[in-house]
Amino acid sequence: MRVLDTAALLYWPVTELSGGICSTSQQSELEQVSLQRYMLISSLDIDWRVPTPDWIDEAKQQAASSGDLPRLSAVDVDVLALAIGLNMPLYTDDYRMQNVMQMAGLTTHSVGTTGAKQVWQWELRCTGCRATEAVPPSINSSKSGPVKECSSCGAAMMLKRKKQ
């Protein structure tokens, strides 16, 4: 048994998908990306699940501790929650999801890429006073740009790779 990210649903042969576990939130994502593929996958033997609130909280905690949370979508968090909650390998090409899983000590496999070679940790860094802080688990998701305002000077805080 394994948890499949949307990349697997989109690119793997249908014979490889049977028996995989996926989040119900992936269905709408898949439908938006490829209606044909969505209709095909709807007929397969996939175990569609809704992650429990406790699993979602744990996934957010893990993603916040690695610093990846601000750049993960709600669907990404649901998929991570299933993999973490069920303690199963996650098949994904998303480097941020791979990073969260590896930081949590869990297994990931790539769908069609070589996969993440290193585990990175992220932090919030102020563009004004250069203050840094850990990523809180209550942070909102954003594709790019500032994550929040600095509590010290009010400037934008950006997600940056933590200096080792």
If asked whether residues 51 and 126 sit together in one domain, one would say no
Assess if residue 116 is contained within a domain.
Answer: no
Amino acid at 109: H
Assess if residue 114 is contained within a domain.
Answer: no
Q: Which residue range(s) make up the domain with 140? A: 122-161
Residue 160 has pLDDT above 60, yes or no: yes
If asked whether residues 61 and 29 sit together in one domain, one would say yes
Per-residue confidence (pLDDT) for residue 151, from 0 to 100: 87
Structure tokens at 155: 């400037």
- Cβ atoms within 10 Å, residue 33: 12
- Do strands 148-149 and 21-23 pair parallel, antiparallel, or not at all (unpaired)? unpaired
Assess if residue 42 is contained within a domain.
Answer: yes
Per-residue confidence (pLDDT) for residue 122, from 0 to 100: 78
* CA 74 – CA 126 distance, rounded (Å): 25
Amino acid at 117: K
* CA 90 – CA 20 distance, rounded (Å): 10
| Predicted confidence band of residue 114 (pLDDT cuts 50, 70, 90) | low
CATH number of the domain that residue 27 is part of: 3.40.50.1010
SS3 at position 157: strand
pTM: 0.77
* CA 88 – CA 38 distance, rounded (Å): 24
Assess if residue 72 is contained within a domain.
Answer: yes
* CA 11 – CA 18 distance, rounded (Å): 14
Looking at the DSSP bridge assignments, the partners of residue 49 are 23
**Total domains present in the chain:** 2
| Predicted confidence band of residue 136 (pLDDT cuts 50, 70, 90) | confident
* CA 46 – CA 152 distance, rounded (Å): 49
If asked whether residues 22 and 80 sit together in one domain, one would say yes
- Cβ atoms within 10 Å, residue 43: 8
